[in-house]
Structure 1
Amino acid sequence: MPARHFDRTVVRAVRRAAEIPQAGVGAAVSAAESTVAGWEAGSSVPDQEKLPGIARVLGKPLDELFPREGSPDLTDLRCDAGLYRYEVAKFIDTKSDGPVAAAESGVRRLKPKYVPKLAAAYGVSEKALEQAQERSFGNVVEEAEAEEHPRALGEKISFLLEHSYPAGAVPGDGEIAEAVNQHAGSEVVTATEVEALRTGAGDADGPDPVVLEGLAEFFGVERMYFEPDEAVARQVYQGIRVLLASRSGTIGRVRARGLGPEGLSPEVLSLLTDLQAEFEKQVGPIDDK
């Protein structure tokens, strides 16, 4: 796959605009100041593994600062995670990086037990890792088949970032965190924590509700968008039960969380009526007992 494009003039301009010295960039990616000067002068280019760190210290999204044509293979995913190959052995609990090296070279596929571990280390889904592996073996993965409905919170955030903004205008983690904190009226999340949510490395229990509310406001979507699919399904089912119970006069038997004394709004009733009609069309009348 094509490597990410490093444009020294763009990097230099962004660094100067951010008033970050070359030494600051070097310190962030374990490189000497003279090495960074060489990158900007065009006498050398940084390793692909260092590009994520450079983008991070300059406060720019990786895809914006260092674009790449086409979809990633296994080597690309590793580099996008800022990892050298010798560093991945610890993630798959092996003595060497041999299994990863063989897969990246298209010689031998990863053992199934390595897939979830590497996917977590790279901050991608298992399916994305498997598709990247196919590209490493020279197999074409149709993008229409590769795209799937985002399910995890990180996938949903990434989907919005990829599909809601033009090239060069994708907001960074710091900008998102600032907007969420403004919504909350206090600091409830940092740029680092937003990055963790976006890459799937966040707390297993998920962020506080106020963070999700702030994300929903920032992206202009309903708060429910960030709920797990099964949770959304439960809410819809609960709503249908409330509607049926209200029709039959048994509303007291239904536990309707968050339902105020005014009952359901006309808009919600209309939506639930449509859902019920569609459901009954598919499986027959619902008997709520």
Structure 2
Amino acid sequence: MSERIFDALEFRAAIRASGLKQSEVGEPPVSLNESVISRYCSGALTPPPEKLPLLAERVAVSLDALAPRSGLPDLKDLRCDAGIQQKDTAQYTRSKSAMPVRAAENGLRRLKEEFEAPLADAYGVTVAELKAAQERSFGNIVPAVRPAPARRAASDTPRSLSEKITYLLEQTYAAGSRPTDAELSRKGNAKAGRILLSEDLVRALRMGEASTDDAEVLGALAAAMDAPPVFFTSDNPEEAARIVAGIRSVALGVMAARGDGGRPLTDEWLDFIASSIQDIIDDQGGPPRKA
């Protein structure tokens, strides 16, 4: 297991930079009291690995900066990086208990094939990455899995909401750094300034199990993925194609920016991407730029 090493100095510095009080850092969904946060700051206590993603998000630093990892992840690492406790994995495998995941993490019994896709989805990785991590849990040396080529042909235009979400995840994130449904929910709600998304809703929309034409929900989802809102709200295939062209034109830059271990894009990168997409839409006769 290649555990993350919590950096108490980085944590303290990030809290100061964020302007938060220690009591505010521990507010839900982190849900830790101030005394525990204080012990994290002093280095007297190390956060549970499942809490690290929430703590990193709360103080606005990347997970790799707050708790770097030197090696490749095993199954437990993937689960912890997704902020999921072992006891909660039964909801993804639809099992009676977390025993299948516990056994696989401990190198006792491999996951059933039917569990692989749901867990990969919950952890925000590909099935190939999940399988490689599982082999590491069994003590086997497995190299990092290269991102698979995009499944969608260049001429294809995503039409349904599910296809559009999948398209953005495939085209603008490296496979190992794609945000989880929970992360998209938190980011969209933060940008909207109120609760519009939930982890279950994002998952249902992404999987095609549900759909919506609520402009506010779609706007929060677009903000969470740093995409133009019209990408989700338009039903015009030609307009969608123009936006796809804009997204594709900066996809390599996005992937390069995210190629440093999954760190969040800087505000400058996000501004560049949004501007680049809008410029291409304008040049191709797309909807006018909003004032």
**Corresponding residue number in structure 2 for 1:94:** 95
2:125–2:175: 8 Å Cα contact kept in structure 1? no
The 5 Å alignment of 1:87-166 reads 87-143=88-144, 146-151=146-151, 152-153=166-167, 154-159=169-174
- C-alpha deviations, 1:109-150, integer Å up to 9, x for none? 00011111111221222222111111111222233x543224
Distance 2:10 2:52 in 1: 13
The structure with the largest alpha-carbon Rg is 1
- 1:10-49 → structure 2 map (5 Å cutoff): 10-28=10-28, 29-49=30-50
Three-state SS of the structure 1 residue aligned to 2:72 is coil
Q: What SS does the aligned partner of 1:55 have?
A: helix
Instruction: Tell me by how many angstroms 1:41 deviates.
Output: 0.9
Q: Which residue of 2 aligns with 1:82?
A: 83
Q: Decide whether the 8 Å contact of 1:131 with 1:146 is kept in 2.
A: no
Per the TM alignment, residue 75 of structure 1 is displaced from its structure 2 partner at its CA by: 0.1
Two-structure CA RMSD over aligned residues (Å) = 4.2
Residue matched to 2:54: 53
1:5 is matched with which residue? 5
Where structure 1 has 5 or more consecutive residues not aligned to the other structure, the ranges are: 163-171, 182-186, 217-221, 229-264, 266-289
8 A Cα contact 1:5 1:67, kept in partner = yes
**Residue 211 to residue 86, structure 1, CA distance change in 2 (3 Å):** closer
Partners of 1:9 and 1:155 lie apart in 2 by 35
Q: CA deviation at 1:93?
A: 1.6
Change (3 A) 1:86 1:108: same
The change in CA–CA distance for 1:4 and 1:112 in structure 2 (over 3 A counts) is same
Paired residues of 1:89 and 1:97 also in contact (CA < 8 A)? yes
Cα distance in 1 for residues equivalent to 2:112 and 2:39: 40
Q: Distance in 2 between matches of 1:223 and 1:70?
A: 38
**SS of 2:173 mapped into structure 1:** helix
Kept in 1: contact 2:14–2:60 (CA 8 A): no
Query: Could you tell me which amino acid in structure 1 is paired with residue 102 of structure 2?
Result: A
Change (3 A) 1:150 1:3: farther
1:213-228 counterparts in 2 under 5 A?
215=227, 223-224=243-244
Structure-2 change in CA distance of 1:9 and 1:202 (3 Å): farther
Q: Between 84-93 and 99-108, report the one with greater CA deviation.
A: 84-93
Contact conserved, 2:125 with 2:176, CA < 8 A, in 1?
A: no
TM-score between both structures, scaled by the size of structure 2 = 0.57
Deviations for 1:235-287, whole angstroms, at most 9, x for unmatched residues? Answer: xxxxxxxxxxxxxxxxxxxxxxxxxxxxxx9xxxxxxxxxxxxxxxxxxxxxx
Distance 1:66 1:150 in 2: 30
Q: Which has the higher contact order (CA 8 A, sep 6+)?
A: 2
Q: TM-score, normalised by structure 1?
A: 0.58
**1:59-109 alpha-carbon deviations (Å, 9 max, x no partner):** 222223322122211001110111111111122122221110110011100
Shift of 1:155: 3.5
> Does the CA contact (< 8 Å) of 1:99 and 1:110 recur in 2?
yes
